[in-house]
Amino acid sequence: MRIVEASSFLKGELRDLARRGALDLSRALKEVEGIVAEVRAKGDEALRELSHSLDGVEVEEWSLEADRGEVEEAYREVGEEALKAIRAAAANVRRFHEASRPTSSSVKVVEGLVAGRLLKPMRRVGVYVPKGRAGYPSTAIMAVAPAKVAGVREVVVCTPPLRDGRAPPLTLVAAVEAGADRVFKVGGAQAVAAMAYGTQTIPKVDKVVGPGGLYVTAAKLAVSLEVAVDLPAGPSEVVVVADDSADPTLAALDLLAQVEHGASSMAILITTSRQLAEGVAREVERWMEVYPEGSLERSWLEEGLRGRGFIVVAKGLGEAVELVNELAPEHVELMVKDPLSLAGRVENAGALFLGSYAATALGDYVAGPSHILPTGGYARVYSGLSTKDFVKEVSFVSCTPQGLEEAGWAAVKLAELEGFKLHARSIEERLRRLREAEGGAK
């Protein structure tokens, strides 16, 4: 990995990295528009054609939906140990989201006037789960479980099929365990389009959520006028902030773990210690040997570290935090003596991991919060996926005669100032009747 000074990083690489999301999406958008249009026009036929050409499905005819028989076969294939891990992860994720689920509320604005919000779950949500090398059971859990905790009536999952037309068994089992109602074997931009517009087989949803590569993220943006979408969650990112107390082996492993997702990933160490920087660089080289030369995984690591891998030496933790806030990365690890105090100064991050034992990989699988987090610098304005993404707020107002007397006059005046005579009259008429009733009672 390249070791650079913070001052040099600020003037050079940081500028492009900070704009990475917009730059990548603008290119991908042009490429997915044709796929989205094809699915919208041809429905299931387009899905089958694209699955053959893009996902390499070898069978001519296969069901787009995983049926009960395929689910039972998947359970047999994954085995008891994998099922036990899936169920443990799902329980942790549910526990976290049940504790942080938003609730309805109300407030007395003035005497007699109560206003509040009622939280209503969405009816149908679509979840996209990437295929990866063996499926992504963790992503199925991280998206489906909070949706179900929020009360979504129907959750459908789309995931790329294997060459034989089956869903990846681990993903299928995890989706079922997390509470998915239906699982479809469709991937890429075409899956996003299918959920957004509906096809003969896949129902139209109210919102599409879930991470993916650039093309999936671009497709979500392309259909966002038709359905709601969640956050831009593309290639994985980690920034490790470390002082001289950090363990170089652990820092190196956490950097490499995120690049393991793919060559587009970003992995940056920001440290106040030149000695640690050099130690981490050596450890990165050593641990890359987990994958043999020439393997796909090794090529991902090498390409990712060449493109978006840096070790930055900062003058102090203050400068390190400035860089983090400018990058607004998906994951931020604080491997420092006092991570809790430093955490309050980090403004832009998808998720924080405090201390040397809080590996990002824990958050990927079992910690509780969803690992579906903003990438590409979008942590400046987006939060990670949660139950809040699956509910709508319906505000309500309740008013007594006293409340009308207390607040009505101001509403009348503002309506008149804006030139809306009937707005004003609708309140004045109520006030008039109220006063007449009060006069009659006397």
Catalytic residues: 330-331
Q: Which helix (H) or strand (E) holds 106?
A: strand 105-110
In sequence order, the 6+-apart residues with CB closer than 8 A to the CB of 346 are 321, 324, 325, 332, 334, 352
The amino acid present at 420, given as its one-letter code, is F
Residue 377 zone, left/alpha/beta (φ > 0; ψ -120 to 50; rest): left
User: In Å, what is the CA distance from 430 to each residue of 322, 406, 424?
Assistant: 56, 13, 10
Closest CA to 308 of 268, 255, 250: 268
Closest CA to 165 of 63, 54, 67: 63
Question: What are residue 312's phi and psi, to 5 degrees?
Answer: -110, 125
- Determine the Cα–Cα distance for residues 160 and 54; give it in Å rounded to an integer: 10
- Determine the Cα–Cα distance for residues 27 and 393; give it in Å rounded to an integer: 35
Q: Which helix (H) or strand (E) holds 360?
A: helix 360-365
- Determine the Cα–Cα distance for residues 420 and 202; give it in Å rounded to an integer: 46
- Determine the Cα–Cα distance for residues 327 and 13; give it in Å rounded to an integer: 11
Question: What are residue 182's phi and psi, to 5 degrees?
Answer: -145, 145
- Determine the Cα–Cα distance for residues 393 and 104; give it in Å rounded to an integer: 8
What is the DSSP annotation of 335-358? ESS-HHHHHTT--S-SEEEESTT-
Q: Which helix (H) or strand (E) holds 150?
A: helix 137-150
The amino acid present at 98, given as its one-letter code, is E
For residue 367, give the 3-state DSSP assignment. Answer: coil
Is the four-CA dihedral 85, 88, 92, 93 of positive or negative sign? positive
User: In Å, what is the CA distance from 418 to each residue of 409, 414, 415, 421, 427?
Assistant: 14, 6, 5, 9, 15
The alpha-helical segments, DSSP class H, found in 179-327 are 188-197, 214-222, 248-259, 274-287, 296-308, 317-327
